Amino acid sequence: MHGMLRRIPTCGEKRIKTVFTHIQIKRYHSIGPLSGIDCIYCIGYLSRGNELTPTFTFFDNLNPIVSTHKCFDSLLTPKDHVSRRPSDTYYINKDTVLRTHTSAHQTELMSNHNNAFLVTGDVYRRDEIDSTHYPIFHQMEGVRIFERKQFGNLTEDQQNKIIEEDLKKWLQGAITAIFGQELQMKWVDAYFPFTHPSFELEIYFREKWLEMLGCGLVHQDILKSIGLRDHVGWAFGLGLERLAMVLFQIPDIRLFWSQDERFKSQFTRDEIIKFQEYSKYPPCIKDISFWIDERYQPNDFFEMVRGVGGDLIESVQLADRFVHPKTKRESHCYRINFRSMDRSLTHDEINQLQQSIRDKSLSELKLDLR
Ligand code: PHE
């Protein structure tokens, strides 16, 4: 067992383990809700001893198909914000999307007089392809609203400061309780349209700082828009796969979708283990280069590659850019890394996939291949 995890109370271990199992058994298309009860324990039990801790209400079966109003407008997301772009978000039609974050439910739940709640669920984003990004993942949202009058005569700024400290103390306490004191973490100032001020908590994992959660004070304009004038509150959104990756030392987010017994059998007991990596199959690297124009969106390319290669695509990296000295046209070269988590790939198989990526670059994305 991983040394620094031993201090976790048994009930907590079980719960976190269950969270993990719940994530793991979901399949790409037939995704179901995460069990909220497991998640509350994952975070909720950690805040014992904090006199501000209320009872959170759980929502774990809210529909992931939401209006753009819920996902963006109700959260003050500007009309031209990147997160709204079809290159970043899966649109079902022009007013309906697959939620990009559990924050999509914040405003409605707050306006229904919930003042302390957690929302868990699957969220969807078009994104880059590497070991910590996957088009579907899970988040847990937490929101806590306070009445200003409970702070007596303090100024609003003083109250806000107290709430900010409460939020940070609470989250940091939760993360430390899960991982132990040795874990390196840092707060980074951030921007979200719906919180102010906003922060991110990053965790040091495999020689990189990994964003684990975003949070902040709920924007006053949101509270006003739902009639909560004399209130103040905090909100956070936590990435559950990333939490589990750091907790179990799982190196690649695709493993959550693996049906391989060598993976699944490691998580059958109620304890937190360090994932034992089984032999990696050899990668196969292929490059593809094309000329781009101003319409080009890298996420369209990544999405198409993922569509062709599925979980056999380990990463896609921009390997080179070149601007033609005369024509000023720009070309991109991407390095596609094919590797299965479960088996060896044959050359034929990879060549076929690469050919189909080339074909679709031409026919669907209208890219000018080099
Ligand atoms: N929704 C944000 C994200 O997905 C996280 C967040 C939640 C930030 C709540 C602030 C408050 O990145």
pLDDT in tens, 322-338: 999 999 999 999 999 99
Q: What is the CATH number of the domain that holds 105?
A: 3.30.930.10
Separation of CA 361 and ligand 1 centre (Å) = 33
Q: Are residues 235 and 319 in the same domain?
A: no
Q: Are residues 218 and 320 in the same domain?
A: no
Separation of CA 102 and ligand 1 centre (Å) = 8
Separation of CA 215 and ligand 1 centre (Å) = 6
Atom of ligand 1 nearest to the CA of 236: 9
Supply the pLDDT for residue 342: 86
Separation of CA 214 and ligand 1 centre (Å) = 5
Q: Would 270 be classed as within a structural domain? A: no
Q: Are residues 130 and 253 in the same domain?
A: yes
Range of the domain at 356: 284-369
Residue 243 has pLDDT above 90, yes or no: no
Whether 233 is in the pocket of ligand 1, judged by its Cβ within 6 Å, is: no
Q: What is the CATH number of the domain that holds 310?
A: 3.30.70.380
Residue nearest to atom 12 of ligand 1 (CA): 214
Q: Are residues 59 and 132 in the same domain?
A: yes
Q: Would 267 be classed as within a structural domain? A: no
Residue in this structure with the two tokens 């559990």, named with its chain if needed? 102
- Lowest mean pLDDT: which of 30-34, 205-209, 273-277, 306-310? 30-34
Residue 164 has pLDDT above 80, yes or no: yes
Instruction: Give the torsion sign (CA, 228, 69, 198, 238).
Output: positive
Q: Would 274 be classed as within a structural domain? A: no
Whether 77 is in the pocket of ligand 1, judged by its Cβ within 6 Å, is: no
Summarize pLDDT for 342-352 with one digit per residue, the tens.
Answer: 899 999 999 99
Separation of CA 23 and ligand 1 centre (Å) = 19
Separation of CA 193 and ligand 1 centre (Å) = 9
Residue 53 has pLDDT above 70, yes or no: no
**Is residue 54 very low, low, confident or very high in pLDDT (cuts 50, 70, 90)?**
low
Separation of CA 356 and ligand 1 centre (Å) = 36
Supply the pLDDT for residue 120: 82
Q: Are residues 73 and 209 in the same domain?
A: yes
**Is residue 27 very low, low, confident or very high in pLDDT (cuts 50, 70, 90)?**
very low
181 compared with 99, residue with greater pLDDT: 99
Whether 160 is in the pocket of ligand 1, judged by its Cβ within 6 Å, is: no
The distance of Cα 265 from the centroid of its chain, to the nearest Å, equals 25
Residue nearest to atom 9 of ligand 1 (CA): 236
Distances (CA, A) of 175 to 98, 186, 203, 288: 28, 11, 10, 41
Count of domains observed in the chain: 2
Q: Are residues 198 and 291 in the same domain?
A: no
Whether 361 is in the pocket of ligand 1, judged by its Cβ within 6 Å, is: no
Best of 88, 99, 103 for a ligand 1 pocket test (most atoms within 8 Å of beta carbon): 103
ipTM computed for the complex: 0.98
Sheet holding 91-93, edge to edge: 65-67, 96-98, 91-93
Angle between helices 10-24 and 156-179 (to 10 degrees): 90
Q: Are residues 314 and 243 in the same domain?
A: no
Supply the pLDDT for residue 112: 96
What average pLDDT does the chain have?
84
List the Cα angle 245/247/32 in 5-degree steps. Answer: 55
Query: What is the percent of the chain where pLDDT is above 90?
Result: 57
- Lowest mean pLDDT: which of 86-95, 240-249, 264-273, 296-305? 264-273
- Lowest mean pLDDT: which of 121-130, 225-234, 329-338? 121-130
Q: Are residues 240 and 323 in the same domain?
A: no
Q: Would 271 be classed as within a structural domain? A: no
H-run or E-run covering 199: strand 195-205
- Lowest mean pLDDT: which of 106-115, 160-169, 332-341? 160-169
Supply the pLDDT for residue 43: 54
Q: Which of 229, 262, 295 is the last residue of a domain?
A: 262
